[in-house]
């Protein structure tokens, strides 16, 4: 999908108007951002906004994440284990210490 | 030029110029000290006169009421907050980043690489088939070498284009924090402006009601929701009555029997036109 985020009042107003007028091209709208359909028309709406508001409009191409294809197993396992932890107040860094789970610094430095 | 109409009994305070050969624009300009030849002996108007000095239905009643409150020297705390937000907004600078050029360069470089890859494959195929046929391969070899060389140049360009694009993207990301801050301040300015108008209008609520009582027609002011209902001309007259304009009100409304009746109801000097 196309993520359109706006960074000025004028751009935000234009985005809201575009979303209101072209509901079928809008997958989701959040405040000053929206996910548009990945169609030529969605791209047309997004580019029209960027043409009008320049760098106050950010356009990203998004796709759903398939963690089984894109995320290493140890990261998935760490997420599952941390979500299941006994002490809700334990920060992840402490949780990972002394286990096989990766530490957060290592994860931050590794690109997906 | 000395203009005199049918002056009412109280002379300077009320003057009826309906019969005189003088236009509204001329009187307005004269009162504002903008007319080349016509002078008035009235004091110079306050800065609120242009908004309030000619009561009509041509401006939002609430805007007139807010202007009237300001003319009375009202300065609500919200206004200080508004000024602070406006100052902060002015101080924000957002670097201009144009990533259009690098996006285009990267896309062009990518398709050029694709095109040349195909050209290399074709040239290689041609060379191979000539070798299999036992034909002369010099020309085909040269063509392949040439295609390979151009592909390598295109790949180098693509790497350079990628680096330029990444750098531009990074700069764009960095400016987004400033843009986001600017947006928050724009919202704050809008909210404080609304608060200020609210407070200003509310500060003359009683004065407005009293003014309407002294005038023909009906108008009511409500705080929540903020607005003025009723006769817009009456509301405009009421705003003029409560405002400090120093100079006379130009009355074109036909709501009063005479210039002096208007002057009395408006509690201000009146020029009737």
- Of B199, B183, B181, the closest CA to residue B80 belongs to B199
Q: Best residue in B89, B94, B107, B183 to probe A by mutation, most A CBs within 10 Å?
A: B183
The pLDDT of residue B13 is: 85
CB–CB of B182 and A55 under 8 A?
A: no
Nearest-Cα residue of chain B relative to residue A10: B183
Q: What is the C-alpha separation between A54 and A56, in angstroms, rounded?
A: 5
Does the pLDDT of residue B6 top 50, yes or no?
no
Per residue in B185-209, pLDDT (tens digit) is 999 999 999 999 999 999 999 999 9
DSSP code string of A28-84: EEETTEEEEPSSHHHHHHHHHHHHHHGGGEEEEE-----HHHHS-HHHHHHHHHHHT
pLDDT tens-digit readout, A37-53: 999 999 999 999 999 99
- B40-62 per-position pLDDT tens digit: 888 899 999 999 999 998 889 99
- Contacts for B73 with CB less than 8 Å, ≥ 6 apart: B244
Averaged pLDDT, B73-93 = 92
pLDDT of residue B225: 87
CB contact, 8 Å: B83 with chain A? no
At B12, the pLDDT band (50, 70, 90 cuts) reads low
Q: Which helix (H) or strand (E) holds B249?
A: strand B249-251
Instruction: Tell if the CB–CB gap between A8 and B176 is shorter than 8 Å.
Output: no
Strand partners, B14: B270
Chain B neighbors of A15, CB-CB under 8 A = none
Q: Is the pLDDT of residue B1 over 60?
A: no
Backbone angles phi, psi at A107, to 5 degrees: -65, -40
CB contact under 8 A, B179 and A9: no
Q: CA–CA separation, B13 vs B10, rounded Å?
A: 6
Q: Which residues of A touch B97 (CB under 8 A)?
A: 55
- CA angle in degrees (0–180, nearest 5) for B270-B222-B208: 25
**Rounded average pLDDT over B126-151:** 94
Cβ–Cβ below 8 Å for B175 and A55: yes
Work out the pLDDT band at B8, boundaries 50, 70, 90.
Answer: very low
| Residue B9, pLDDT above cutoff 50 | no
Q: What is the mean pLDDT of chain B?
A: 91
Contact A55 B179 (CB under 8 A): yes
The residue of chain A nearest to residue B182, with distances taken between CA atoms, is A8
Structure-token pair, residue B139: 């020309």
Mean pLDDT computed over B229-258:
94
Band of the pLDDT at B98, cuts 50, 70, 90? confident
pLDDT tens over chain A, length 112 residues: 999 999 999 999 999 999 999 999 999 999 999 999 999 999 999 999 999 999 999 999 999 999 999 999 999 999 999 999 989 999 999 999 999 999 999 999 999 9
Q: How many residues does chain B have?
A: 273
* pLDDT > 90: percent of chain B: 77
Say if the Cβ atoms of A8 and B172 lie within 8 Å.
Answer: no
Of B97, B187, B190, which has the smallest distance from its Cβ to A55's Cβ? B97
What is the SS3 string spanning B80-141? HHHHHHHHHHHHCCCCCCCCHHHHHHHHHHHHHHHHHHHHHHHHHHHHHHHHHHCCCCHHHH
Angle at the Cα of B77 from the Cα atoms of B75 and B81, rounded to 5 degrees: 115
Residue B172 with chain A: CB contacts under 8 Å = 55, 58
* Inter-residue contact B17 to B214 (CB < 8 Å): no
Do B256 and B273 touch, CB atoms closer than 8 A? no
Cα dihedral across residues B5, B6, B11, B14: positive or negative? negative
User: Which are the contacts of B143, defined by CB distance < 8 A and separation ≥ 6?
Assistant: B123, B126, B127
What span, in angstroms and rounded, lies between the C-alpha atoms of A55 and A4? 11
3-state secondary structure B153-180: HHHHHHHHHHHHHHHHHHHHHHHHHHHH
């Amino acid at each position: 999908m196309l993520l359109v985020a706006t960074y000025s009042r004028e751009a935000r107003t234009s985005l809201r108007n575009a979303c209101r007028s072209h509901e079928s091209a809008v997958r989701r709208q959040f405040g000053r951002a929206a996910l548009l359909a990945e169609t030529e028309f969605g791209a047309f709406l997004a580019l029209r906004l960027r043409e009008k508001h320049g760098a106050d409009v950010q356009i990203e191409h998004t796709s759903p994440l398939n963690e089984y294809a894109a995320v290493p197993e140890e990261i998935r396992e760490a997420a599952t284990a941390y979500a299941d932890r006994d002490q809700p107040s334990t920060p992840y860094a402490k949780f990972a210490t002394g286990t096989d789970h990766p530490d957060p610094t290592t994860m931050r430095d590794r690109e997906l | 030029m000395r203009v005199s109409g049918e002056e009412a009994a109280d002379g300077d305070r009320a003057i009826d110029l309906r019969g005189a050969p003088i236009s509204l624009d001329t009187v307005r300009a004269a009162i504002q000290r903008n007319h080349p030849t016509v002078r008035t002996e009235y004091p110079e108007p306050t800065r609120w006169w242009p908004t309030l000095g000619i009561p009509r239905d041509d401006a939002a009643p609430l805007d007139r009421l807010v202007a009237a409150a300001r003319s009375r020297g009202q300065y609500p705390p919200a206004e200080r907050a508004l000024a602070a937000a406006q100052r902060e907004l002015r101080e924000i600078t957002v670097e201009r980043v144009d990533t259009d050029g690098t996006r285009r360069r990267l896309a062009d470089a990518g398709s050029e690489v694709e095109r040349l890859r195909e050209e290399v494959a074709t040239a290689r195929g041609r060379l191979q088939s000539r070798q299999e046929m036992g034909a002369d391969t010099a020309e085909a070899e040269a063509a392949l070498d040439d295609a390979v060389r151009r592909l390598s140049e295109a790949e180098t360009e693509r790497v350079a284009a990628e680096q330029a694009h990444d750098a531009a993207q990074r700069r764009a990301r960095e400016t987004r924090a400033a843009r986001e801050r600017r947006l928050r301040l724009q919202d704050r300015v809008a909210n404080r402006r609304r608060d200020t108008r609210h407070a200003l209008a509310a500060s003359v609520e009683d004065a407005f009601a009293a003014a309407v009582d002294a005038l023909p027609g009906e108008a009511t002011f409500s705080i929540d929701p903020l607005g003025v209902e009723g006769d817009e001309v009456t509301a405009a007259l009421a705003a003029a009555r409560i405002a400090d304009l120093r100079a006379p009100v130009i009355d074109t409304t036909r709501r009063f029997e005479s210039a002096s009746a208007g002057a009395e109801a408006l509690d201000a000097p009146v020029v009737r036109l």
